[in-house]
């Protein structure tokens, strides 16, 4: 099994990539990228150390990604998210998992009996402090797909929201104002792009799960 590492990426390249991939798909993540000061943090990529760093930094599809990443990068993000939600020393937190492809009008989606919320009619799932491993992975697998979801780590709980209803702009603003990290897929879903706000030691936590 290849060892994974974190590579710091160029801010302008990442912003251009996100604007191209996110706009018109996600809602909360789109607003976040446009409204938060991304220069107050840094972008990173989970990579295997065998890959060409020029390709990695340009966010192009590097040769060998299919064998070098999948499914290890998924496991890294899952375990990091579990730690983020359930580490008692860092207090109550929340993850928004925005699922661009979910269609609430289709029978197959209704039959899954998922607990979901809406932001401008885009589906998102809430993972809150104390959520068990099985539930976390269930919703990650539900949303999983190349460029079809984003993971937004919020530093405070959002409180009570009405299930299956659109949340208000006030809640969205609170969420965006308290984002400490967001993650989206890159390289056709083979890995992840992360933005981490300065002052948070999330990278130290994430590095513990690099395998």
* CA-based R_g, the chain, Å: 16
Runs of H (alpha helix) within 87-162:
107-111, 133-143
| Per-residue model confidence (pLDDT) at position 58 | 62
Q: What is the pLDDT of residues 84-119, one digit of tens each?
A: 998 876 778 999 999 988 989 888 888 888 999 999
Q: With contact defined as beta carbons under 8 Å apart, do 154 and 180 qualify?
A: yes
* Of 56 and 107, the one with more pLDDT: 107
| Structure-token pair, residue 37 | 């000061």
Tell me which residue of 60, 12, 5, 21 sits closest to 150, measured CA to CA.
21
The band of 146, judged by pLDDT with boundaries at 50, 70 and 90, is low
Residue with the two structure tokens 């999983």: 144
* Mean of the per-residue pLDDT values of the chain: 83
pLDDT score of 54: 62
């Amino acid at each position: 099994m290849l060892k994974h590492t974190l590579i710091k990426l160029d801010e302008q390249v990442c912003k251009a990539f996100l604007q191209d991939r996110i706009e018109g798909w996600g809602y909360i993540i789109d607003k976040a990228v446009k409204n938060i000061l991304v220069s107050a943090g840094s972008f990173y990529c989970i990579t295997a150390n065998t890959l060409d760093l020029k390709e990695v930094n340009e966010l192009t599809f590097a040769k060998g990604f299919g064998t070098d990443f999948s499914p290890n990068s998924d496991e890294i993000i899952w375990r990091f998210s579990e730690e983020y939600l359930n580490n008692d020393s860092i207090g109550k937190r929340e993850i928004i998992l925005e699922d661009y492809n979910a269609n609430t009008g289709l029978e197959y989606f209704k039959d899954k009996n998922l607990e979901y919320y809406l932001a401008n009619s885009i589906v998102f799932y809430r993972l809150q402090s104390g959520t068990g491993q099985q539930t976390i992975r269930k919703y990650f697998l539900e949303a999983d797909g190349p460029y079809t979801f984003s993971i937004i780590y919020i530093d405070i709980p959002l409180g009570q929201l009405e299930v299956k209803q659109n949340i208000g702009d006030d809640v969205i603003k609170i969420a965006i104002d308290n984002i400490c990290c967001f993650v989206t897929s890159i390289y056709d879903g083979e890995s992840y792009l992360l933005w981490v706000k300065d002052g948070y030691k999330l990278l130290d936590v994430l590095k513990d799960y690099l395998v």
